[in-house]
Amino acid sequence: MGNENARDQSSSPGRRLATLARHLSVGDTSLISSRGEAINTAPTAGFHGGSVFANVAQAPEDPILGVTVAYNKDPSPMKVNLGVGAYRTEEGKPLVLNVVKKAEKMLLNNPSRVKEYLPITGLADFNKLSAKLIFGADSRAIQENRVTTVQCLSGTGSLRVGAEFLARHYNKRAIFIPQPTWGNHPKVFTLAGLSVKTYRYYDPKTRGLNFQGLLEDLNMAPSGAIVLLHACAHNPTGVDPTLDQWEQIRRLMRSKSLLPFFDSAYQGFASGNLDADAQSVRMFVADGGECLMAQSYAKNMGLYGERVGALSIVCESADVAVKVESQLKLVIRPMYSNPPIHGASIVATILKDSSVDKAYVFLCFLREMYREWTIELKAMANRIISMRQQLFNALSARGTPGDWSHIIKQIGMFTFTGLNKEQVSFMTREYHIYMTSDGRISMAGLNTKTIPHLADAIHAAVNRIK
């Protein structure tokens, strides 16, 4: 009986083919059926006018990226976007680093470059250089071939691939993440199949680290659990452990066989120095233990949209590293097959040094590029630091109630202001200042012209709303 219905005149094979042919012809967006009725070609349209997805619920915007969506819709000329962590110049413009432009020119002028697929693990040079950048040129783990590195889709992709690998091959499911942490962490890990728990990290009273709480919670974590650590410039709090505190965390974690999973999204942004910002990680790697590392070049090379990052897994032996890499390939291949070539080529060009290329003149040029990058990186970090000072001064000058010294004490891209949800929505409504509802502001989005406006807004918000 189903056949009877299906054998409708209008759907004879010939007609269906003709309709399909018209549908596939370029520029044809609406079709006329053989009965002369318009056929809706929207891909979700059901045959009887209703969408097969009619019951799909409207999802809320992302808590961070949704801030930019709201900002873009606001016609006010006063509007300021301090939501997403994206560096802006003193003129409020996005920045493409000079060294990146140079690298791109070199790549463009290199006739031997092609657009073939990369291997599943990405660009080999990029992987080697990335491991060196985070673990240090003299890292024993690298020399002993105990590190496997795969190019991934920026920091997020690296976290996701690492998490999927752990869900398949590690004997524990629990991952402890700091409270609070970057809003995407719980989603990435949960969807990868891990079970997310939190450890205390931030003390709202001191606006600093809750070190005692952190140690207690990690001490209570089951042996072998995974622990997510922000390598530097903790997001959203801007609060990092001191080196001495890192050492205590390391000892505790190693004594309980907790597996460190580092997220390094801001190397160079905390202090302006790439090596200083990798200290925490290098302490853990130097003890010979294992760990995971998700690296992003979004912020420190300004390659946000190029989606360049790397996942490294430091293993106990070279043997294990080879096997781990073989399994990482099985995670990546069905997910996105292999990573994009352009961004990784830019990074590799900038990071290349004497160990990679022998031609003397070329070599000097490349070293020059690395040096230039560190200078540009330091300039970005310094501008953020000067924004901290200027905002602090502006609030002091206004006599804004409360202690605002955390603005200059916190580090990295963000200040965790302590403003509450109501104060934030007041500032957005009345002053067109866009920020995440947890009171985080991206210091990199500020400039000398917008600071007085922000200080006025904070001043009004804390005076009007308690």
Is residue 261 involved in binding ligand PLA (CB under 6 A)?
A: no
201 binds ligand PLA (CB under 6 A): no
319 is catalytic: no
What one-character-per-residue DSSP string does 74-142 give? ---TT-EE-SS---B-TTS-B---HHHHHHHHHHHH-TT---PPPPTT--HHHHHHHHHHHH-TT-HHH
Contact 179, 197 (CB under 8 A): no
Which are the contacts of 176, defined by CB distance < 8 A and separation ≥ 6?
A: 197, 198, 199, 217, 218, 221, 225, 226, 227, 228, 258
* Residue for token pair 């760990």: 291
Contact call for residue 263 and ligand PLA (CB under 6 A): yes
| Spatial separation of the C-alpha atoms in residues 410 and 346, rounded to whole Å | 31
**Annotated catalytic residue, options 182, 352, 404, 438:** 182
Q: Is residue 265 a contact residue for ligand PLA (CB under 6 A)?
A: yes
Binding mask 166-185 for ligand PLA (x = CB under 6 A): ----------------x-x-
Q: Is 148 in the site for ligand PLA (CB under 6 A)?
A: no
Query: Is 182 tagged catalytic?
Result: yes
The minimum distance between CB 295 and ligand PLA, in angstroms, equals 9
Q: Is 263 a catalytic residue?
A: yes
Min dist. Cβ of residue 107 to ligand PLA (A): 21
Instruction: For residue 397, give every residue at least 6 positions away whose Cβ sits within 8 Å of its Cβ, in sequence order, or none.
Output: 455
What DSSP letter does each residue of 388-419 carry, written as one string?
Answer: HHHHHHHHHHHT-SS--THHHHS-SSEEE---
Is 84 near ligand PLA (CB under 6 A)?
A: yes
> Interface with ligand PLA by CB under 6 A: which range of 148-156, 285-293, 322-330, 423-431?
148-156
Tokens of 331: 């995670």
Q: Which range in 42-50, 152-160, 198-206, 280-288 contacts ligand PLA by CB under 6 A?
A: 152-160
Q: Which amino acid is at 57?
A: A
Residue from the set 180, 241, 260, 309 that interacts with ligand PLA by CB under 6 A:
309
Kindly tell me the number of DSSP H helices and DSSP E strands found in the chain. 17, 15
Among 156, 312, 345, 390, binds ligand PLA (CB under 6 A): 156
Least Å from the CB of residue 179 to ligand PLA: 14
Residue found by looking up tokens 């990369």 in the block: 118
295 makes contact with ligand PLA (CB under 6 A): no
We find the least distance from the C-beta atom of residue 306 to ligand PLA, in angstroms, to be 10
Catalytic residues: 182, 263, 299
Question: Which residues bind to ligand PLA, rule: CB under 6 A?
Answer: 64, 84-85, 154-156, 182, 184, 230, 235, 263, 265, 296, 298, 309
